[in-house]
Structure 1
Amino acid sequence: MSKRGQIKIVAIGGSVRPANYTSRALNVVVEEFNEHHDVTVAVVAQDRVAALPLPGIGGNHHGARELQELVAAATGVVLATPEYHGSYSSAMKLVVENLGFPSVLSGKPVALLGVASGQIGAIKALEHLRSVCSHVGAIVLPGPVSVANVNKVFDDQGRCQDARIERRLRGLATNLLDYIKASICPRAALEEFVRNP
């Protein structure tokens, strides 16, 4: 946490395609975070994701460092991905790889969101992303949100047309905040009290 009581969330979408459905779904989650006065949200823009270097190859290492610093300073993280070929996107893999090893996700609560145009949603992508995030030490929260038939859920302006799905997306934000307030905030308050009696 940054300022006293301030929760910092980083939201990262794993699609770099313009007007993508992943960003539309993530925007609903971000809207819910913005309803809470004690929360600030940093959304990592898709051009920043697209500019990240491939691991082991030269490139925008400054962008990777900025991303690592942003996530390291966060209280919690939301990772959103489309499902491509039965897994999460290469853009999301690039994000995870650029978070370092040991990863700055280690010890961070992470909420997962997946979208797909098929009827079963992004279940496989979420399973794979959960596995990788857990492997690098993230605290992956239960209850990821998988949006099926995503091309029918949002209108051309990006508004969610399904109240049930909108509740689930907003619930992803509140579940992460509930976890942070129950588990992270008390520990941070105790540490601050001990340091500054």
Structure 2
Amino acid sequence: MVDLNSQQHNIVIIIGSASKNNLTEKAARLLEDEFKKNENITVDIIKPEEYKLNFPGMDDNGEDAKLLKEKVNSASGVILSTPEYHGTFSAMLKLVIENLGYPSALAGKPVGLLGVAGGDIGAIKSLEHLRSVCSHVGALVLPGPVSIANVNRYFDDEGKCTDEEIEKRIRALGSRMLNFIRDHINPKIALEELVRKRSGC
């Protein structure tokens, strides 16, 4: 378990699929479980279909868009999970990114990428595209995005992963996120607290 020195952090996991019993969420729930092993971590699962989000060019001041931005702004890290559709990441996830504004709420945030696909190649193309978009808006994309090929083979109806190696790969993304928070976010918080104390604010 990664030692976060008792500092509290929240991680947002965004599910990029609205399909019933979708495998994207089943994979992402393993990350939720991994994060919750640490008592200093809280997790906020975001399902975009539960939000009223507008397309670019429409009114972007809706309450749901504001709430989405607030959740991402307050997070120490973000996981973006997506299926691969037509060689790229889901339109639903793109809509979320559009509603995070520009400058984006993702700017300066550590972002981990998780992709699933039913075919042999996996979600490589979708993760390449997603990494490019996230980097463009200023996110700090973690190395080692996780692509799961033939994902329908590895989860049962209850959402349990039936392959130990696949589960390890997914959980390892969670460990990389926590390591980044420990090494980069925690020192920044400590420095800000020290400056406030010295300034008397």
The TM-score with structure 2 as length reference comes to 0.92
Per-residue deviation, 1:57: 2.3
Q: 1:84 to 1:185 in 2, by over 3 A?
A: same
Q: Give the SS at the match of 2:10.
A: strand
Between the aligned partners of 2:72 and 2:197, the Cα distance in structure 1 is: 26
Aligned position for 1:15: 17
| Residues 14 and 82, structure 1, Cα contact 8 Å, conserved in 2 | yes
Amino acid at match of 1:8: N
Aligned position for 1:27: 29
Runs of 4+ with >3 A deviation: none
Structure 1: where are the runs of 5+ without partners?
none
| Residues 48 and 63, structure 1, Cα contact 8 Å, conserved in 2 | no
Amino acid at match of 1:48: E
Aligned position for 1:70: 71
Amino acid at match of 1:161: T
Identity %: 53
Amino acid at match of 2:38: H
Count of aligned residue pairs for this structure pair: 193
Per-residue deviation, 1:59: 7.7
| Residues 48 and 96, structure 2, Cα contact 8 Å, conserved in 1 | no
Per-residue deviation, 1:110: 0.2
Aligned position for 2:3: none
Q: Trace 1:11-160 onto structure 2 (pairs within 5 A).
A: 11-49=13-51, 51-58=52-59, 61-160=62-161
Between the aligned partners of 1:92 and 1:39, the Cα distance in structure 2 is: 24
Between the aligned partners of 2:159 and 2:41, the Cα distance in structure 1 is: 23
| Residues 110 and 138, structure 1, Cα contact 8 Å, conserved in 2 | yes
Q: 1:46 to 1:158 in 2, by over 3 A?
A: farther
| Residues 52 and 60, structure 1, Cα contact 8 Å, conserved in 2 | no
Q: 1:95 to 1:46 in 2, by over 3 A?
A: closer
The TM-score with structure 1 as length reference comes to 0.94
Q: Give the SS at the match of 2:195.
A: helix
Per-residue deviation, 1:48: 2.3
Aligned position for 1:179: 180
Amino acid at match of 1:23: E
Structure 2: where are the runs of 5+ without partners?
1-5
Q: Give the SS at the match of 2:160.
A: coil
| Residues 60 and 99, structure 2, Cα contact 8 Å, conserved in 1 | no
Q: 1:88 to 1:174 in 2, by over 3 A?
A: same
Per-residue deviation, 1:8: 1.1
> CA-atom RMSD, angstroms?
1.3
Per-residue deviation, 1:7: 1.1
